[in-house]
Structure formats: C-alpha cells, structure tokens
Structure 1
Amino acid sequence: MTTIDPRYRAEPTDSARAGLRDWLALGVLMLPVLLTSIDNTVLSFALPQVSTALHPTGEQLLWLVDIYPLMLAGLLIAMGSIGDRVGRRKLLLIGAVGFGIASVCAAYSPSAETLFASRALLGVFGATLMPSTLSLIRNIFTHREDRRLAVATWASAFAGGAALGPVVGGWLLEHFWWGSVFLINVPIIAIFLVAAVFLLPESRDPRPGRIDLPSIFLSMTAMLPFVVGIKQVAEHGFSDLALLGFSTGIISGVLFVRRQKRLVDPMVDMSLFSDRIFSGAIVANLLSLMGYAGFVFFAAQFLQLVAGLSPMAAATVLLPGLVVTVIAGFAAVRLVRIFPARVLVAGSFGLSASGYAIAAFLGTPTTWTIMVAFTVMGLGIGLAETLTNDLMLSSVPPYKAGAASAISETAYEVGAVLGTAVLGSILTSAYRSHLTVPAVARWGGGDSSFETLGSTVEYAGNYPNMVGEELVRSAHAAFELGVQLTSATAIVVAVAAAVVSWRTLKDA
C-alpha cells in the first residue's frame, strides 16, 4: 500500500523543548476540549428531568443527544480547513463566543424543539473549537516527547471530559434545574477568551486554498441522512425514509471523496488515508467512541431510573472510570516506550470488550456491575485515545495538522453519533418490544407515555397501586434486558477495533 512521504513522519533532531509559555498554552487549550467533550455526555444525566419537563418522544430523546455530535462530525473537517486558512486562534475565539451564546439558549429552552435547535448550534460552534486545539498542539510542541505528553493531556481531557460530563451534570442536577448543565459553560468560556488572547500563538497553513462550499455541503449530506436512516430502522424497520437516508448518505459520501481527489486544494487531503497507520488510528478512534457513547447513554438512565440513585450519586458510580481513563492516558506515554503501539492499542480494545462483557453477561445489571464495567472500559479508552491520536499527528507534517486533526475528531464524533444512534436504538427497540403495559394504563395514556423509561415511570405515578407497580417492574425489566443486549453489541464493536488496530498498526 502507498505510504505518505517519510519526511512527514520524521522528527527534527534539534527540535526545541517546550518552555513554560508553551505548557501554559496547553492548559488554555484544555478548556475548550473539556467543554466540547463534557457537552457530549452531560445531557445524559439530565435526560430523566428533560423527559418530564419537555415531554420528548423516544425518537426526540435520541435526537437531543445525537444532534450535538452529529453537527460536530459534519462540520469538523470544514472548520479544520477554515482554521488552516483564516487562523486557528482566530477561529477558536469566534467559536468560543458562539458556544457561550448557544449554551444560554439551551439552558432556557421551553420545549424539546428549542433544545434540539440549541444543541445543534452548540455542535456548529463546537466544531470551530476542536480542530484548532489539536492542530495548535502540533505546531506548538515540535519535540516528539513533548508532543506525546501534550497529546496525552489532550486525549485525557477529551476522554475524561466525556466521563466528567455525568459527574458535573449530577452535581448540578442535585442543586439546580436541568438547564444548569448548559449554563456552566459560560464562565469557563469567559476565562478561556481572556487567557487565549495572551497565551495562544496564531498559526495557519502557509499555502491555503479557497474554502469549498460544495465540499461542506456534501460532508453534511453524507452524515445527517445516514444517521436518520439508522434511527428509522430502529423505530420502524426498513422504511422508505430509511432507505432514502442510507442512499443519500452513501451517494454524498462518494461524491465528496471524488471531489476531494479532483481539487487542487481539497478540504480533505485524501492521500492521508493511503498511510496504514493514519487510517488505522482513525478507524480505531471511531470504533472506540462508538461503544463508549452507547454505554454512557444507557448507564445514566439505568442508575437513576432503575437503581433509584440521585443524579449525583449516579454520577459518583462512574467516577472511578473517569479517574482510570485519565491515568491510563498518561500511562500510555511511558508504556509505549516498552511495548509496541500495536500491542497496546489492540490490547486496550480487549479491555473495553471485557468491560462490556461484565455488563452483558454477569446477570441482571446492578450498580456495582455498571461501575466495574465502566472502570475496565475506561482503562482501555484512556490507552487507545492517547496512542491513536499521537500516531495520527506523527503521520502528517505541521502544515497539515488542522486537516488531520479535523479528520481524527470527526472520527471521534462519528463514533459518538453511531454509539447513540446504533446502540441507543438497540436499547430503545429492546425496551419497547419487551415492555408490558397493563390494559388499564394503556387505555389512559397515549403511545408517547411509554416511549422512554423516564416517561413510563412518570406515567406510572398516576396509578399509586398495583397497576403502577406492575408497570414500573415491567419497565425496569425491559430496560435491564436492553442494557444487556446493547452491551453485547458493544463487545462486537470493541473486538472489531482490536482487529483493525492489530492489522494496520504493524509498523507503528
């Protein structure tokens, strides 16, 4: 297979080591990383309150979670390309302001539709933040050892932020209303804007091309219809709308790739994918986050609505997994000096598969099995994220850092979208098909009352007798079975990631 020019991977022997200002700049860059990753999962723990306050349908509930990473994934490549051209720091500052405004809109949403629109805007502005952070790291830290540590910090903040989202959300939900999980973004953004002006250097591609609007359109029409198709299959089987979504996504994806190959200055340099290590790292990223996002989606609801924990107590159950994820990310920097990256990455997905197996096969899920499963899974995710991102960045020259970073983060967000869309849809389908509703309760409520576990439990409160108790028992049993089926599916995803890593990272 063709490989990228070897000079792309070569490290200058006289690269200067990072100074204090560089490490302070890294600290500033971690703020938008934490914000965007926390917002990927912070809504999960607010779903029960959102369900009772805004009364979304089951499909709307999935979309409220998915629209944010979907917009991120659809625009990351475009925003990475724009950042290479107009300046990465400038794009960071613009995106941070927009992210703050969208956060306020989400916090005070009066309906599910308004919250959906606000989450979409958060995704748009989040897409301006992420490519700039990793590409600035590539340009600030020129020494390989410094950059590996910086990437470990970035990956730990990204993966840790996704796990921290439920913890932050749990604490806020204990003391405030559900909109506070978005409002917390505002003071962090204010701090970031001030610090970024003084500490972050500007960088851009020295040979920028024009911004290609058709490519941006094709990237979006490749993503959005495809996810719609997945959700339609989960809701209604292979309907005409599902087939239309799949065909539109595939056609747009093919046209996007063909257009990039023809353009003199493409939005995505397709030659990057000719390198096995780059491509393997990207696919591994996508698959790892697919299982992770699906797990967080059902764990947050299980711990609150089935186990009966408060939001903060439920978040605390996931805290060991958060700590392990961060530790594993930094441990990867030392382990890769001893063991081949191929062994570590493939092994990390073996650990993730073990975590899912705990939730799937150790009987009816409990608080303890969820905690242990998430901890084991976090160990694998922490190792994988640091190593795959470092391998990806090392495969490209500094002036391609923005485009490569955008591709990496797109894979991350596509994985998050597919995790909720595919695994969340499996959970929803299993729950609905195994839920038994007493005739009296079904006569009194419409189908929307039983769309989600949260709405079913709320509706059961209308029957403070055996009818309500029977409905809650059935809902809990159906959801527990859905958790097991979803976890079993995630095992397949993790094993696939291990196989891809082992085959493609042979020379890493």
Structure 2
Amino acid sequence: MLVEHFWWGAAFLINVPIAVAALVLTLVYVPDHAGNKDKKWDFTGSVQIMIAMVTLIYAIKEFARRDGSPTFATIGAVIGVVALIIFIRRQLRSSNPLLDLSLFKISPFTTGFITALVGLFGQLGIQYIVTQRLQLVEGFGPLQAGLITLSIPVAALIAGPLVGKMLYRYDVIRIKSFSLLLAALGTMVYLFQFDSSIPGQILGLALLGAGLGAGMTAASHSIMSYAPPEKAGMTASIEEMAYELGGASGIAIIGSISGLVYTLAMKIPAGIQVPANVKDSLDEALLVAEGLPVQASEALKEAGRTAFDESFFAILVWVTVFFAVTSLVIGLVGARSKQRETRV
C-alpha cells in the first residue's frame, strides 16, 4: 500500500514502529545479564569476514551482469575466498574466537544453520522475482502483488507454532528435512501454476511458506537448544548471520542469475532499433517500448516478457532442486547421527 501511493523507499518505514516497540519491550522485559569482561571482540576477524562476504557477492553480481568485467569478478572472487580462508584459520587458532566453529560438530546445530541459511535464501530470492513477475508480466499493481505474496508469511506464521508443538515429540532433524521438502513441493506447484490461475499460484506460495515457516522454527530451536548455555550469545549471532547471509545472498544470487538468463534469452524483434540496455532487464525493455510505435512497442514487450518467463522458469526449477537436495542432505546427516548414537 505504501509503494502504491508513495515512493518505493517508503516500504522500509513500516519497520520503524516495529523496531521501536521491540526496543521498548526488550528494555522492559528482557533480564539484564552482565557480559564477560574477559572476552574481547575480534575486530580483525569481523573485518575479514566482512571483506569475504562483500567481495564474493560482488563477484557473483559482476559475473552475471551483461557488460560485467570478468577480470574484476575474478579478482573479487579470489579476494573473497582468500579472506574467508584466513578468517576460518584465525577462528580455529583463536582462544576467544568470534565464531566457535567447533559448534558445527553438533549435528542438530549444523542442520539448523543450513536450514536457516537455505530457507531465507530461497524465500527472499523467490519473493523478489515473483513480485517482479506479478507487476511486470501480469500487470498487477504493488498492492495486488503484495497481497498475493502475503500467502508466504501467513502460511509460515501458521506452520511455525504448529511445528513448535512437535519439536519435543519427533526428531528435530527429520522435521527440518521434511520442512525443506515441503518448500520444494510448494515451489514445484508454483512452477506449474505461475502462468495459470491466481488460486493455483497462492497454493504454491502457501506450501512454500508453510515449509519455510516450519523449517525456521525447527532451525531456531536446534541452534539455540543444542549449544552450550555459556555460548548463547554467540549462537544467537550465528543464527542471525544465517538469516542475514541467506536473505542477502538469495536476492543477490537469484537476482543475478535471473538477469543473466533473461539477457541470454532476450531476442530483440527484427527491424526494431533499440538500445542494448533492453537486454539488461524487463523493466528497461518496457521503458524503451513506451517510446516506440504501437506495433514495435508490443513486439518488444512480448519479447521481454517471454525472456523473463524463461528466466523465471529456470530459477524456479533450480530453487526446487536446491530445496530438495538440501532436504536429502539434512536427512542423511540425521540418519548418520542416529547411527552414531546407537553405536555409543
């Protein structure tokens, strides 16, 4: 609704009252705990991981750009990998690590981190391109598109508490595996319905949201419950890192791959002279089409929408497989964990 009547940045303002309310409630209800003065903040490690994440995401986006520089992308990738290796080596050797990597030896903790990372990666990435398609291809306004994609968080809101009641009755790793499998099913349903009826699209998005909501609940439980109590602050930071890294990389990677496939699939109709930027994105093509004669305009719009749908289809297939494979991996980790417990 904000985007419908104001500029796009107004959408972020809705978070301000929520953040203020959260801050006030935290100060009132959350107990105050004294910090450990003996532990020092690893500033060097923070800089290393920041450099690694920024340069790796830059490399991905630069590789995917139509006129991107392979040289700069390669340099960025090399710097990112080197910074990440240095960061990991530093954490393994440090007596007071920024991130205690030994926590990842705990199977429920590791699968929780993976579920949170993959879940947010898929959710924000899919929401990003679905919202684009609903507006640029289907012709819906921001409010209508928002109401359709609202099915994802609503389903997650319902599934989360329901799964919360199952966490102490069933194996938590299996719950995470099943949750991602449900997300894969939802993405697959949407894959076959995105060019069909709105109820079919909502069904697919709702199944996706239910799977991710269930997975996030189980992931949060695993991360916070299976780590030592004295490392609660660190584990909370790791959980938040999984969410932030997953969300940011999801938008960056899925958006970049979508743009790359669109560029490769976009065929400019014969006889139409247009700038090269129409192959960058569908919105660029639609803007250029507004200044063309009617017949040429409609031909360019159709070519752009066809290319967008090709990239959209490819992304949905890839994300579906990604969810399914991750679900399988988590299930195998859970099975091996059970075998080790049985031997002991």
TM surpasses 0.5: yes
Alignment partner of 2:164 out of 327, 333, 337: 333
Q: How does 1:257-276 map to 2 (within 5 A)?
A: 257-276=88-107
State the Cα distance separating 1:449 from its structure 2 match.
Answer: 4.7
1:324 matched residue in structure 2: 155
CA distance in 1, matches of 2:196, 2:70: 33
Are 2:294 and 1:470 equivalent residues in the alignment? no
Instruction: Choose which of 211, 215, 218 in structure 1 pairs with 2:48.
Output: 218
1:80-100, CA deviations, whole angstroms, 9 ceiling, x for partnerless residues?
Answer: xxxxxxxxxxxxxxxxxxxxx
Q: Structure 1: how far apart are the matches of 2:37 and 2:104?
A: 21
Task: Give the match for residue 284 of structure 1.
Answer: 115
The amino acid across from 2:152 in the alignment is G
Distance 2:265 2:60 in 1: 21
* 1:173 partner letter: V
Contact between 2:118 and 2:323, CA under 8 Å: does it hold in 1?
A: yes
**In the alignment, is the contact (CA less than 8 A) between 1:285 and 1:408 conserved in 2?**
yes
Q: Which of the residues 215, 219, 244 maps onto 1:413?
A: 244
Map Cα deviations across residues 394-434 of structure 1 (whole Å, 9 max, x no partner): 11223311111111221222222232222222211121222
Question: What's 1:248 paired with?
Answer: 79
SS in 2 for 1:427: helix
Measured in 2, the distance between the counterparts of 1:428 and 1:342 equals: 35
Cα offset, 1:202, TM superposition? 2.2
| Residue 181 (structure 2) aligned to one of 350, 370, 378 | 350
Cα contact 1:228–1:245 (8 A) shared by 2: yes
TM-score (norm 1): 0.62
Distance 1:315 1:456 in 2: 23
* Unmatched tracts of structure 2, length 5 or more: 339-344
CA RMSD of aligned residues (A): 2.3
Residue 175 (structure 1) aligns with = 5
Deviates more, 1:249-258 or 1:202-211: 202-211
Secondary structure at the counterpart of residue 179 of structure 1: helix
CA deviation after TM superposition for structure 1 residue 464, in Å: 4.9
Q: How does 1:12-161 map to 2 (within 5 A)?
A: none
**1:505 pairs with 2:325:** no
1:376 aligns with 2:207: yes
Q: Call closer, same or farther: CA 1:363–1:214 in 2, change over 3 Å.
A: closer
User: How far apart are residue 383 of structure 1 and its match?
Assistant: 0.8
Name the residue aligned to 1:229: 59
Q: CA separation of 1:242/1:408 partners in 2, compared to 1, >3 Å: closer, same or farther?
A: same
Identify the range of structure 1 (413-422 vs 402-411) with the bigger mean alpha-carbon deviation.
413-422
- Structure 1 alignment gaps of length 5 or more: 1-170
269-278 or 175-184, larger mean C-alpha shift? 175-184
Q: Aligned partners of 1:363, 1:303: CA distance in 2, in Å?
A: 9
Q: Give the 3 Å change call, closer, same or farther, for CA 399–499 of structure 1 in structure 2.
A: same
Among 126, 144, 147, the alignment partner of 1:295 is: 126
Shift of 1:333: 1.5
8 A contact 1:320–1:371 mirrored in 2: yes
Aligned to 2:342: none
Alignment of 1:165-204 (within 5 A): 171-204=1-34
* Cα deviation, residue 490, structure 1: 0.2
Query: In structure 1, how many angstroms separate the alpha carbons of the residues matched to 2:211 and 2:111?
Result: 17
1:322 aligned partner, one-letter code: P
Higher relative contact order (CA 8 A, sep 6+): 1
Contact 1:453 1:479 (C-alpha < 8 Å) held by counterparts? yes
1:220-257 CA-partner distances (Å, limit 9, x unpaired) = 11111111121122225892222222221111111111
Give the 4+ runs in structure 1 shifted more than 4 A. Answer: none
Partner of 1:386: 217
Q: Contact 1:423/1:489 (CA < 8 Å) preserved in 2?
A: no
